[in-house]
Amino acid sequence: MSVSAAPILITGASQRIGLYCAERLLDDGYSLIVTYRSEREGIERLQQRGAMALPADFSSEAGILAFIDQLKQHTDSLRAIVHNASDWLAEVPGEEAEAFIQLFNVHMLAPYLINLHCQTLLEHSTPADIVHISDDVARKGSANRPAYCASKAGLDSLTLSFAARFAPQIKVNGIAPALIMFNTDDDAEYRNKSLKKSALGIEPGPLVIYQSLRYLLDNPYVTGTTLTVNGGRHLK
């Protein structure tokens, strides 16, 4: 498939899966706009390769709308939006409401407002896609992090709603990963326990998410779908 001249927007691309997917898209010839909350070495690396990097604060409506205004100053079209920005907050006793609001803003309000306000940018590209990066935990809930889980489940619902709303011009899909890559400080006990939660029992690395993203971008007949990339956790 030919590469569009319109850029792909990836939110939260400074590290880990977001950074990996951004670098692979650059390898494949795509123009890229990425957002970051904190400056990291990965952002500098992307800029050196020609990506445009924009700071963004998705923790409030004002910050989200300010980013959208900034984005529109730099491009009049988008090939795709990949909503990868995420937060991982502990729900500390006495601070539950603040955590819930921030998680809601980052995982739901930001994609919601960006999708609405950037619809015209996407319609200037053919094909055009939106991809929400969700989480497999939304499938069964979480006793430890209900606010995080609820906000990701809400993102899955937005996938369905926007797919219906934007068809046929814009395809809207999601990816729901589980245990893609460990953190460097995860100990052996935690790693072994986590690997046993899936049928395949491996740490696949970020390539599997990029493969899923490319499938959704390249397939013209898939919308309103969330791809589960969990190694068979639902089988255990």
**Residues involved in catalysis:** 148
d(CA 94, CA 236): 35
Q: Rounded to a whole number, what is the largest CA-CA distance in the chain? A: 52
Residue at token pair 């969700």? 134
Q: Are 22 and 13 in contact (CB under 8 A)?
A: yes
User: Parallel, antiparallel, or unpaired: how do β-strands 52-55 and 8-10 relate?
Assistant: unpaired
> What burial class does residue 120 get, using C-beta atoms within 10 Å of its C-beta: 0-12 exposed, 13-18 middle, 19+ buried?
exposed
Q: Which amino acid is at 92?
A: V
CA proximity to 223, closest of 164, 149, 177, 152: 164
